[in-house]
Amino acid sequence: MRAALQGGARPVPSATPDSRVQNLAPLVVGGGLGALTAASIFAGGGSTDQSLHWIGGLALLLALGCVAASFAGYLSVPRPSHLATASLVIMSALVLWTGASISWSLAPDRSWVFFNRGLVYVSFAVLGVFAGTIVSRRYAAGGLAL
C-alpha cells in the first residue's frame, strides 16, 4: 500500500480495446465468412437440410460474435443504407412470424425447419452487412474469384 502511495503503482489501463485485437478481428471475420461461403457452396447439399444445422449454426455464431465485437469496440459498427436496414427488418420480422407460427401450424415440424432456415438467412445477411464494412470490394471480388 505504501509503495502505491509513493508512486510505485502502475497506471490503470484504459478501457479502449487493444490495437492488436482490433487489427485481428476483421481478419477473423473475413476468414470465417470466406470459410462459411465455401462450405455453403461445396458442402451445402442444395435444398436439403443435411448441412443446414452445422453451417447455419456456425453462421449464427459468427454473426452474434460480430455484433458482440462491434458492441465491445473491436469491430466498426456498420452503417447500412435505409434500404438495407429495411430489408433486414422485414426479413427478421418474417423469421419471427415463422417462429411464432409453430404454435398453430398443422405441421409444426416443417414450420420449425423453415424457421431454422430463415434464421440462417438472417445470419448470412448480418454477416454480409459486416463484411461490407470490413472487407474492401477488391478483396471480396478476389476471394470470390478464387
Confidence of residue 82 (pLDDT cuts 50, 70, 90): very high
DSSP class of residue 58? Answer: H
C-alpha distances in Å from residue 8, one per residue of 12, 13, 14, 15? 12, 15, 18, 21
Contact 91, 121 (CB under 8 A): yes
Confidence of residue 69 (pLDDT cuts 50, 70, 90): confident
Q: What is the mean pLDDT of residues 106-110?
A: 87
Q: Cα(67)–Cα(73) distance, rounded to whole angstroms?
A: 10
Residue showing cell 474469384 = 145
Q: What is the pLDDT of residue 30?
A: 80
Model confidence at 52: pLDDT above 60: yes
Q: What is the mean pLDDT of residues 48-76?
A: 85
SS3 content of the chain, % helix, strand, coil (to 5): 75, 0, 25
More confident residue, 59 or 10: 59
